[in-house]
Structure 1
Amino acid sequence: MHRGKGMKFVGDSRIRENDDKFIPKDYSEYPGKTEPFWPNFLLKEWLVGAVFLVGFLCLTIAAPAPLEKEADPSTAGYIPLPDWYFLFLYQFLKYDFASGNYVVFGTVIIPGLAFGALLLAPFLDTGKERRPFKRPIATSLMLIGIAATFWLTYEAASHVNWEERAEKGKIVEEVEIDQEDPGYQVYSQQSCINCHGGNLEGGAGPALVGTGLSVDEIKDIAVNGIEGDPGMPAGSFQGTDEELQQLAEFISGLGGEGH
């Protein structure tokens, strides 16, 4: 059939006129509150994500993550601690039923079931209802999971002395230690090295580089000790007055360039 100059219409009997098998239903045909994915739903998702991202960036600026000195396997007094988002698992492993002989239960089975359930949630809960009160099981499990995570994180954080930890793990100025110095000889002979490290970088005790203490203050601490956690007991120094003077002068002189 010809219509117009040079225009042809060709029909194909293999294509049915009203074949809507593969045409998706309109979103309005689904029950509950509905809306088109583009642009309504996707725009809301982007806006919520942007708000959380900006809030998280503000939090990192206001309270930046502390940096500690390089890891030293020879430091026996250092207690490793996971990042804040794993503190709840760290606290969970402190309980008897998730540690010791049951450590596999606390490290593999329970976390595996929890995170596996999150991955399988879309397949386990196939209901079309979106309102939380219409899905009591899923809503209850999610609230329990959130409450447990917050509580375990709070418990773990509340039992950590953050100021002491920051003091022990702070990055100290690297100085050249003269191990031939008489003060260092006294330092090693008095077993100070066991708590404060071979380079006075700290360990079970605080670092002794750049303390800002005077010679007299160091002598007083060495003889009378100091309170705190871990602190230092009185009578730790057992040498002579001359050795005490050498030790105090050596520690007080650390922290400046060239020492």
Structure 2
Amino acid sequence: MRYAGLVVMLAIIVSAIPGYSMIIESHDISIKRISEGFRVLEEMEVVKANETILLVWIQGEAEDVAIKVNGSEANFSRSGEVYGVELGNLTRAHVEIDYLLPKETQNFFKKILQPCKKIIIKLDGNRVYEGVNLSEGCSLSFSIKERVIERINYYMYTTLILILILIIILAYSARKRRTGKMVTEDPDVLKVKKDLLMNVLKEIEKRHRSKEMSDEVYNRLKEEFKRETVNIVRRLEEMEKS
């Protein structure tokens, strides 16, 4: 690390010599929210001629930076936000860069230091950016703050469903108070719950198609309600067999 500045300067000089070229064929960036902040994984397919150093820009607040080349830990140096990754004599390389951004991070930044044919950036599995033929010097940035309104929509739907199911159970409980039968396992109650969940699944799909609901909220609601529907159908089938 003590020679980081010298290594980066040499890499810049080498890259400026005619006949030396390095191209990023693909650059995939995955950002995931975790309890500690944002886990970032960058994967690049690199094609090069005579250079031995790949220059990569990583925003300053990044922590625990780990870099691999073709699956093995790579030697790298750092000068500010520029990292120099040693590629040796490889003509092609798969580069993986893993790091953590603190939870206080508001925006994700990326500067392109090598020509890049294609770049895709995903946040929590949802594609937020795709670009082609990016030239050296391009800059990208976008907010990675959690969207509070999306969380409100998610909890609004789940709370509404729970309230409706509770009302149904209470109504049947009033009718069958003297039977001693578990109301929540009554076939009629389960059928009503199943129909309710099926209607909700259709409604959220409709809202998702009309762009009124984000991919993130839609996928979470769909997974949760579909799982509950499958459980109800299974219990109804078991009742019919018994």
Which TM-score applies when normalising by structure 1? 0.24
Between Structure 1 and Structure 2, whose CA radius of gyration is higher?
1
- Greater helix content: 1
Which TM-score applies when normalising by structure 2? 0.25
